[in-house]
Amino acid sequence: YPCDVIRNFSIIAHIDHGKSTLADRLLELTGTIEKKERGLNKQVLDKLKVERERGITVKAQTASMIHNYAGKDHLLNLIDTPGHVDFAWEVSRSLAACQGALLLVDASQGVQAQSLSVFHAAKDRGLTIIPVLNKIDLPAAQPDIVAAQMQSTFGINPDDMIRISAKSGIGIEAVLQAIIDRIPPPSGNVNDPLKAFLFDSLYDQYRGVVSLVNIQGGLLKKGDKIMSCHTRKKYEVVEVGIMYPEEVPTASLRPGQVGYVACNMKESSEAHIGDTLHRVGAPVDPMPGFKPAKAMVYAGIFPVDSSDFPKLEESIKRLTLTDRSVEIMRESSTALGQGLRLGFLGSLHMDVFRQRLEDEYNASIIITAPTVPYKVIYRDRTVLVSNPTDFPDVNDVASHVKEVQEPIVKASIIVPEEYLGDMMDLCFNHRAENVDHKYLDASEATSARIILTCTMPLSEIVTDFFDKLKSRSSGFASFDYEDAGYQASKLSKMVFLLNGKPVDALALIVHRTAEQEVGRAWVKKLHKVIPRQLFEVPIQAAIGKRIIARETLSAMRADVTAGLYGGHHERKLKHLNNQKESKRKMKRVGSVELPQEAFYDILSSN
């Protein structure tokens, strides 16, 4: 396939606007996959179980197809992009291997927060954008109104928009034609030295790490000796091929092509996203690389049964082979024993990882409250703190620390105008600043939509902000955010004391304005979950020496069962049944005995 019949493209859209469905239709119409009975949505590209269950795409997948158009076979390479704000990094990575993008907008929903961010990401890279209005089969579809909206927000001519139903198959042929007609072919000369851009990697049980590459110049084939610009390591190519949609070996990969290369890489860290590969002895200028993925949400993960730690560590290592954006460190806690501290791109990313861990490895885990990375600035150095345990105590902050800073994001919310008041309220409750809003629709639409922008501490949106946003807007609000650096803030470490002894795994970083509320809520929760002891146990939230909140757990009577009945019948019964087992898992905090499962109850009800 010479360059002029190759097209490399992505589908970009707000979540649920139909990327995966359209990808399936394109693969079907080109005969790459077989057509199933109508109504069945295969979503071939969403491979992971959790993706299928949640209907989200976590990991970008690549597939090639062949389409005969104007008497010529064309090789179309689709790079699927994830549809959630946490994965913006994967989106930009995928776009770097493309010349064009289909911008998909749901005709019943209109332009949403992530339609804007993905549009700008594609525009900034100079990609040709093909606007597509999807779901025109829906009775609630308003293609004309949404087309006007796209014209006013993106400056796109309505005549260029293709109206389709990815579900029923209307307009798919026109999409294929537009890909070939409008997107420029890639450039690259087969006689140039080999230059391959590494934009993704997968893990194969038999072949180890397999890299996905886009050939910028030259030819890549079996037996070639290649070298990484980044690691300077050398490899011999074992196999090359295209994703059709599974791996299909080919004789070579030519300029403009997208495909895989297996070359006996042992560690997934060797396949550095954004790297450039060249032939040994024929160096090339590397492509501008990517900023590495930056973990923004950290949490400790511990096995419920401490003796399971080696298994947990092994499981996590295997999972991270297919998800390179997770950062791993060892961590140990007096209360929870040995565990791992993981860094994620965002809270959905963390959730998805947890679910994969539970699904695929059958692991019972305790996960601590999420924390963002804080900057603690001393006179002579700056320390990045991603674990509340490492955060200096108030006294140290007062005497040694110049300033504490927290990560800030620029948030944008798109919402029908009648919810504006509620949304402003929600933002202010989450320490929003620089709040601004403007109309998204140029026309006097019946239910005009507003785009609300503000800056907010990242820590405010990593827990339940998204759920609140959805419920307070009856599901109509969409949300996106981008990194906006760090900002000075009044933050303290809050610790929880049982009978005067701190429980390290429960420490939190809290903003001054939230101390009371957070302290009270956690102390209440602990009071509910911690089983009674033979003596009275004060449960306290403290910042330094200052006690913020307190509850008292009364003593149980010497007669064990009598004491255990009462408030939480069911749990206590379970507790009694498992007494032998839970004895083994008892943890001590000072003189207080805690079953490890109590931590599970405390931390899983965040």
Residue 7 CB, shortest distance to Mg ion, in Å, is: 21
Residue 548, token pair as written in the block? 């913020």
Residue 79 CB, shortest distance to ligand GDP, in Å, is: 14
Residue 80 CB, shortest distance to Mg ion, in Å, is: 8
Give the C-alpha separation, 508 to 471, whole Å. Answer: 26
Residue 20 CB, shortest distance to ligand GDP, in Å, is: 3
Residue 87 CB, shortest distance to Mg ion, in Å, is: 11
Element (DSSP H or E) covering residue 145: helix 143-154
Residue 45 CB, shortest distance to Mg ion, in Å, is: 7
- Written as one letter, the residue type at 286 is P
Helix axes 309-322, 347-361, angle to 10 degrees: 120
Q: Which partner from the list ligand GDP, Mg ion, none does 13 bind, CB cut-off 5 to 8 Å by kind?
A: ligand GDP
Q: Which is nearer to ligand GDP, 19 or 74 (CB)?
A: 19
Is residue 535 within 8 Å of residue 555, measured between CB atoms? yes
DSSP string spanning 421-481? HHHHHHHHHTT-EEEEEEES-SS--TT-EEEEEEEEEGGGTSSSHHHHHHHHTTT--EEEE
Segments of 70-190 assigned E as strands: 72-80, 100-106, 128-134, 162-163
Give the C-alpha separation, 566 to 572, whole Å. Answer: 9
Residue 347 CB, shortest distance to ligand GDP, in Å, is: 18
Strand order through the sheet with 239-243:
234-236, 225-228, 276-279, 195-204, 208-217, 258-265, 239-243, 247-249
Q: Which is nearer to Mg ion, 57 or 117 (CB)?
A: 57
Is residue 57 within 8 Å of residue 82, measured between CB atoms? yes
Residue 18 CB, shortest distance to ligand GDP, in Å, is: 3
Scanning the structure block, which residue is given the tokens 């200096």? 392
Is residue 370 within 8 Å of residue 309, measured between CB atoms? no
Q: Which partner from the list ligand GDP, Mg ion, none does 8 bind, CB cut-off 5 to 8 Å by kind?
A: none
Other beta carbons within 10 Å of 269: 13
Helix (H, G, I), strand (E, B) or coil at 486: strand
Q: Which partner from the list Mg ion, ligand GDP, none does 21 bind, CB cut-off 5 to 8 Å by kind?
A: ligand GDP
Residue 22 CB, shortest distance to ligand GDP, in Å, is: 7
Is residue 22 within 8 Å of residue 104, measured between CB atoms? yes
Residue 26 CB, shortest distance to ligand GDP, in Å, is: 12
Backbone angles phi, psi at 117, to 5 degrees: -65, -40
Give the C-alpha separation, 547 to 222, whole Å. Answer: 68
Is residue 304 within 8 Å of residue 597, measured between CB atoms? yes
Residue 36 CB, shortest distance to Mg ion, in Å, is: 17
Q: Which partner from the list ligand GDP, Mg ion, none does 138 bind, CB cut-off 5 to 8 Å by kind?
A: ligand GDP
- Closest by CA position to 187, among listed 158, 216, 165: 216
Residue 30 CB, shortest distance to ligand GDP, in Å, is: 18
Q: Which partner from the list Mg ion, ligand GDP, none does 166 bind, CB cut-off 5 to 8 Å by kind?
A: ligand GDP
Q: Which is nearer to Mg ion, 16 or 422 (CB)?
A: 16
- Closest by CA position to 176, among listed 79, 261, 68: 68
Residue 51 CB, shortest distance to Mg ion, in Å, is: 7
- Written as one letter, the residue type at 479 is F
Give the C-alpha separation, 407 to 509, whole Å. Answer: 13
Q: Which partner from the list ligand GDP, Mg ion, none does 372 bind, CB cut-off 5 to 8 Å by kind?
A: none
Tell me how far CA of residue 565 lies from CA of 269, 530, 554, 561, 570, in angstroms.
53, 13, 13, 6, 9
- Closest by CA position to 602, among listed 306, 336, 334, 316: 336
Q: Which is nearer to Mg ion, 20 or 149 (CB)?
A: 20
Is residue 129 within 8 Å of residue 494, measured between CB atoms? no
Q: Which is nearer to ligand GDP, 94 or 250 (CB)?
A: 94
- Contacting residues for 298 by C-beta, under 8 A, at least 6 apart: 327, 341, 342, 343, 344, 370, 371, 372, 373, 386, 387
Q: Which partner from the list ligand GDP, Mg ion, none does 190 bind, CB cut-off 5 to 8 Å by kind?
A: none
Residues that bind ligand GDP (CB under 6 A): 13, 15-21, 41, 55, 57, 83, 134-135, 137-138, 165-167
Residue 60 CB, shortest distance to Mg ion, in Å, is: 11
Q: Which partner from the list Mg ion, ligand GDP, none does 306 bind, CB cut-off 5 to 8 Å by kind?
A: none
Write down how long the chain is: 606
Residues that bind Mg ion (CB under 5 A): 19-20, 57
Q: Which long-range contacts (CB under 8 A, 24 or more apart) does 567-571 make?
A: 567/528, 568/528, 571/601
